[in-house]
Amino acid sequence: MKKILLAMIISASLFATQGWHIGKVKDLSSAYDGKTITFRLDNPTPIIDYTKCTCYSSWDTLCLNPARDNFNKEFSLLLSSKTSNQNVKIIFDKDVCFINAIIVP
């Protein structure tokens, strides 16, 4: 029974970290429309293919979604992480590259 419980805990922890990308904030920018915040991660793990990002077609970057309730908090977190040179962990929509979740590990 203990082995089954341990296997379940290990499996759950592996699935809980799946999809997260970690790296330092690089190229934090405001787009020409004044509403779109774009950024890249420096040496993200796992690697991000920015060429597939379409959230802001002028640049191949990740974007904060201005329609999210946490937009201002997420932007503040990016600014803080960039100035303090801290890593962030993100989950994003792989089709468009809008951020779905962002935390400081």
Q: Which amino acid appears at position 62 of this protein? A: L
Q: What is the DSSP letter of 77?
A: H
pLDDT in tens, 54-63: 998 888 999 9
* Residues 78 and 36: beta-carbon distance below 8 Å: no
Domains and CATH numbers, the chain: 20-103 (2.40.50)
What pTM does this model have? 0.78
Summarised one tens digit per residue, pLDDT across range 62-92 is 999 999 999 999 999 999 999 999 999 999 9
